């Protein structure tokens, strides 16, 4: 009777639930206009059951296991579930609400249980094992070999060899971790949204540019308030710390931002960090590894914590002395300009920006009129056209999940369709902070048809006001280039399997396609093509471009140290050999101490808001940003040598890196493009640290 009831429910859901129907939208994009929040749980339940049946069919097949009926079949299994998951979790980051967050907590254990049921299915594992042990006789191409090896590793790392109590404990830990990561992110979003600084006395706005004040007025009106409203979202927080003369208010903003989820309330993430890291350690030990980092790094270019720590230390030795010199220079400048006392963290952006203005006569406010968002986007699209022949056509017939979203069809140089691209640029209470690229559908081949990807770019740029369009800072221009580089990795993918396409690569390789794009922001030839004043149409002055280039390494030591500190605290949390029972703050400060140049600030904590590693999948992987900087500096040196728009170099990068996804080992792909392995020299030279 229960089985009949499930079948009846499934049929009904498929008839009425838009998530379970075949999408009839252009390019089979998600029908966001039809999806209701209440559709998600039934869609998950039905698609999980369907995926379980597919897995069981593979595991119980009477045919002898081979690459096609086992490895390829596994790669294709559960595609509807993957589709539903991508839609839901992408929106849970970009356009969430309380109900969606509750759904995430409810379905995450179900998804983890489903994942465990795959990797711990003894029949299925035996089939995978037989294919893997026979790989020498299968005559596989490189992509097939990679898929087989990755599938094997996934089973091993997923606990396939575990038995009895260890197996059950591994499953339980996986379930707990899925919920804790979500809770961490929910707390962080709530804390970011919770703080508001309402200024009612105009004297307290001294130093702030008109554009910042105008945005603050708009933010206040949106909340039905009079005055100027400042928040902890990047377009508001960053300029306030950089420009506000009122030191007390800078301190208030700084403390609020850097104490997120470290306050005495129900959003404190300290205990969640203890639980996550203790469970990760237990999981690693069950698998036979001394630390979680040892376990996680089995699928990375850097193969051990020792290799990562040596790498971080090498860069720290190159940057820290420079960071100390930079701090001294800023302190002397501040004193020369009337500052007394000790330079604190909430003073750094303020005085370093004024020093930059003095040294280079350059400031974000000078540049922003030339970086109108629409123009920057056009410039980025044009760069993709110049390098790779891509064209972008904005369309209005593809459903959107929010009114801010724009949709584009992307075409290759021969006119063939490549991808759908969604752009979502402005902050809102329902969106997580930061910037990211994601996919609603990844590229793969199914039944002989090349299924093209559906890629999304999500940012948090300043919104247009009544009087001004969205004008970006130079850092925001590089952010857009960065995330667009990730999107190229997804859009240009030319692979056969779900598991090897697009951004399905080692964590410490995935940032190469994104970070290399940032280099063009410093190139006159590119800026000359599109950067014009939003009011006059005047091209960005050549002297401004020269100032950008000359100031490129301003505070390079400090900025390198800052990134290294994040990598070091990440590695510290994931190389513990016993659960942390002492103060979270003390643990963090000890890990970051080699990079520190400022006094500690009571009540602040970075870890409790470190979403990348505790909610975003970068656990024991944050070093990859610096690792990929080495790769991108080395790779861009080829463009610099041959010409930044050189067609042959761009084609080599496309064919060997962007199109290949994770179809081969990343170092194999890199050497095929570059002709040699990378060294840190190009990065140190570019940063002025050598």
483 is catalytic: yes
Sign of CA dihedral 297, 298, 300, 304: positive
The residue length of the chain stands at 690
Output the DSSP codes for 7-29: HHHHHHHHHH-TTTSPP-SGGG-
Supply 25's token pair: 């939208």
CB atoms within 10 A of CB 321: 12
Give CA separation, 651 vs 323, 503, 523, in Å: 38, 19, 20
CA distance 290 to 562: 28
Question: Is the distance from CB of 269 to CB of 187 less than 8 angstroms?
Answer: yes
Q: Is 438 helix (H, G, I), strand (E, B) or coil?
A: strand
Strands 454-458 and 436-441: antiparallel
Written in H, E and C, the secondary structure of 179-234 is HHHHHHHHHHHHHHHHCCEEECCHHHHCCCCHHHHHHHHHHHHHCCCCCEEECCCH
Q: Exactly one of 191, 439, 476, 483 is catalytic; name it.
A: 483
Supply 214's token pair: 């105008």
**Cα torsion through 88, 260, 264, 578, rounded to 10:** 80
Q: What share of the chain is helix, strand, coil (3-state, %, to 5)?
A: 60, 5, 35
Of 95, 101, 52, 61, the C-alpha closest to 440 is 95
CA distance 250 to 241: 6
Supply 569's token pair: 């605290």
Of 186, 160, 172, 182, the C-alpha closest to 279 is 172
Residues known to be catalytic:
483
């Amino acid at each position: 009777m229960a089985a009949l009831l499930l079948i009846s429910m499934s049929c009904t859901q498929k008839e009425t639930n838009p998530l379970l129907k075949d999408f009839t939208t252009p390019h089979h994009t998600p029908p966001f206009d039809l999806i209701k929040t209440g559709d998600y749980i039934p869609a998950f339940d039905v698609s999980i059951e369907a995926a379980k049946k597919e897995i069981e069919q593979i595991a119980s097949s009477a045919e002898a296991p081979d690459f096609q009926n086992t490895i390829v079949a596994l790669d294709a299994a559960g595609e509807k579930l993957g589709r539903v998951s991508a839609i839901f979790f992408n929106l849970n980051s970009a356009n969430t609400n309380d109900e969606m967050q509750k759904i995430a907590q409810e379905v995450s254990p179900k998804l983890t249980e489903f994942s465990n049921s795959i990797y711990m299915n003894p029949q299925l594992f035996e089939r995978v094992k037989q294919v893997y042990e026979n790989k020498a006789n299968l005559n596989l191409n490189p992509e097939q070999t990679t898929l087989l090896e990755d599938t094997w590793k996934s089973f091993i790392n997923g606990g396939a060899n575990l038995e009895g109590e260890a197996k059950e404990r591994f499953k339980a830990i996986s379930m707990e971790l899925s919920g804790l990561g979500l809770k961490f992110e929910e707390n962080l979003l709530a804390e970011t949204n919770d703080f508001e600084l309402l200024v009612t006395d105009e004297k307290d706005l001294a130093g702030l540019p008109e554009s910042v004040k105008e945005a603050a007025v708009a933010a206040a009106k949106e909340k039905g308030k009079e005055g100027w409203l400042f928040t902890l979202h990047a377009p508001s927080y960053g300029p306030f710390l950089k420009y506000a003369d009122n030191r007390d208010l800078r301190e208030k903003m700084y403390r609020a931002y850097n104490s997120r989820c470290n306050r005495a309330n129900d959003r404190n993430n300290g205990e969640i960090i203890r639980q996550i890291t203790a469970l990760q350690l237990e999981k690693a030990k069950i698998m036979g590894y001394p630390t979680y980092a040892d376990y996680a790094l089995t699928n990375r270019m850097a193969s051990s914590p020792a290799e990562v720590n040596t790498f971080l230390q090498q860069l720290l030795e190159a940057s820290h002395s420079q960071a100390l010199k930079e701090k001294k220079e800023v302190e002397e400048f501040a004193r020369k300009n009337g500052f007394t006392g000790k330079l604190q963290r909430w003073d750094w952006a303020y005085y370093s920006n004024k020093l930059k203005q003095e040294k280079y006569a350059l400031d974000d406010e000078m540049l922003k009129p030339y970086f109108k968002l629409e123009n920057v986007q056009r410039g980025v699209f044009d760069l993709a056209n110049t390098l790779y022949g891509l064209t972008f056509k904005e369309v209005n017939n593809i459903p959107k999940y929010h009114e801010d979203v724009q949709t584009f069809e992307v075409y290759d140089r021969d006119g063939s369709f490549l991808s759908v691209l969604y752009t979502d640029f402005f902050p809102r209470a329902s969106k997580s902070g930061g910037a990211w690229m994601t996919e609603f559908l990844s590229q793969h081949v199914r039944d002989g048809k090349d299924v093209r990807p559906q890629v999304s770019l999500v940012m948090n740029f300043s919104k247009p006001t009544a009087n001004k369009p969205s004008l970006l800072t130079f850092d925001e221009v590089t952010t857009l280039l960065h995330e667009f580089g990730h999107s190229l990795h997804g859009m240009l993918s030319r692979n056969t399997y779900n598991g090897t396409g697009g951004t399905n690569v080692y964590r410490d390789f995935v940032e190469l396609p994104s970070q290399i794009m940032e280099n063009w922001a410093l190139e006159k030839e590119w800026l000359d093509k599109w950067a014009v004043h939003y009011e006059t149409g005047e091209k960005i002055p050549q002297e401004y471009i020269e100032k950008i280039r000359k100031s490129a390494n301003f505070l390079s030591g400090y900025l390198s140290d800052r990134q290294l500190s994040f990598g070091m605290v990440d590695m510290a949390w994931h190389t513990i050999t016993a659960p942390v029972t002492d103060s979270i703050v003390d643990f963090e400060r000890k890990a970051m101490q080699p990079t520190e140049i400022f006094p500690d600030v009571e009540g602040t904590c970075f870890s409790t808001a470190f979403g990348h590693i505790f909610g975003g999948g970068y656990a024991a992987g944050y070093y990859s940003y610096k690792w990929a900087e080495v790769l991108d500096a080395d790779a861009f040196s080829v463009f610099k040598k041959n010409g930044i728009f050189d067609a042959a170099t761009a084609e080599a990068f496309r064919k060997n890196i962007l199109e290949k996804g994770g179809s081969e080992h990343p170092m194999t792909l890199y050497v095929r493009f570059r002709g040699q392995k990378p060294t840190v020299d190009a990065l140190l030279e570019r940063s002025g640290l050598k």
